[in-house]
Structure 1
């Protein structure tokens, strides 16, 4: 199977993972319309409207925007709640708003359309110094699991990338090289994998991590089956 999309709107494309994936898409002959990650500096919804008007061929939206900071509640005087709430907005509520904004375009297309999300393993195994990041990304992952099921009978497919540490501005000194991340992620996207797990979470082997994900996914499938039966 090959990557089915021809024109990707990539939100969060100016650095790190987003820039690496934009470059990789281009080398594969995929058109990319890039939007910067720092959404507080632009009107995201006007940008979306203008992007779709200028590029009606967009058939995939890649939601990669994110930010991370420490919040140490054992020193509450050091915690800036405005920064905490801003992080939750960028990582979660803004993503939900963007999905709501782009779905009419994607659902109205006659061919296959896609939504791609960048997640993180700390949604399941939290990293205690970064509670806003872990909680907001966990909320996003729960949202996309629900969204995937709601869209299962439509033309819009949901893919989720959950990489371990990658050498970006978040942590330039450790993690997998960006090139390795891009290649492993591209392989999963082109194969049509619903969930892609490049690298591994800190403190666990990849096999241990995937076993944990397998248990979670089986529980989600049981819950989904029960709800489908109850809802008719």
Structure 2
């Protein structure tokens, strides 16, 4: 019996990267399970994408729901071939001693705990079938520090290290593991959520031509289209208007 088209589960599919990835992969012939917290946005996405997309309400910080997810999927959708760990957020740009502990806790719960829990929920099926792919969205903030990135940058560094270690665990299995680490990227809710102000969010991109969610979706599509024996470990991508700034020096402390 021939298996149906490959099934992809995407977290955080209600906006930004996840929304663009879902639409691109449906266009490329995949079946997509689009998950997120906002049911009305999932319903709108399903209307746009058609019957190849299954909307499933899921908050990755609800660990009981994450752990129950594989068995709760409808018959015919339970064999997930590709997991795209996209759900994540940044909150605030305050220095560490000024930041809200509640913001730190929410970033860790989403970017770290939610990511590892859903990976753990779906990975056994991939290993049992000896086929699959886990793609996680990291960030250049996990490599290049900047003021105010404190816990956000640390969560994205965790993503990269977790995925490298996952790849080591998967040695000898036909299950792939990839991190995509974008830099400056517009066209999403990221900065508005982080700063809590749309005008401030818009100012982040003034005078720039940033990456767009469609660029991330294109990268995911390229990775998935490669032969099964090819594993892309890590993709770091920036717009041409961005580069790492080098080390900062304070020149006011000389005797």
Cα RMSD (Å) of the superposition? 2.7
Alignment partners' CA distance in 2, 1:73 and 1:61? 34
Mapped contact 2:138–2:179 kept (Cα < 8 A): yes
Change (3 A) 1:185 1:157: closer
Q: 1:164 matched to which residue of 2?
A: 183
- Secondary structure of the equivalent of 1:181? helix
The offset of 1:120, in angstroms, is 0.6
Change (3 A) 1:201 1:141: farther
Q: Which moved more, 1:7-16 or 1:40-49?
A: 40-49
Mapped contact 2:87–2:110 kept (Cα < 8 A): yes
Name which one, 1 or 2, has greater alpha-carbon Rg: 2
Alignment partners' CA distance in 2, 1:96 and 1:165? 25
Deviations 1:60-94 (A, max 9, x none): 11111101012524653xx3212211211210122
Alignment partners' CA distance in 2, 1:197 and 1:74? 26
Q: 1:177 matched to which residue of 2?
A: 212
Q: 2:122 matched to which residue of 1?
A: 102
Alignment partners' CA distance in 1, 2:74 and 2:134? 15
Q: 2:146 matched to which residue of 1?
A: 127
The offset of 1:11, in angstroms, is 1.4
The offset of 1:200, in angstroms, is 4.4
Unaligned runs of 5+ in 2: 38-58, 192-200, 247-255
Q: 2:40 matched to which residue of 1?
A: none
Which consecutive segments of 4 or more residues in structure 1 shift more than 4 A?
200-203
Change (3 A) 1:56 1:41: closer
Mapped contact 1:8–1:59 kept (Cα < 8 A): yes
TM-score by structure 1 length? 0.75
Deviations 1:138-165 (A, max 9, x none): 1121111111111121121101111122
Mapped contact 2:7–2:82 kept (Cα < 8 A): yes
What is the number of residues matched between the two proteins? 200
The offset of 1:41, in angstroms, is 6.5
Q: 1:197 matched to which residue of 2?
A: 236
Mapped contact 1:52–1:58 kept (Cα < 8 A): no
Q: Aligned match of 1:39 in 60, 76, 81?
A: 60
Change (3 A) 1:202 1:40: farther
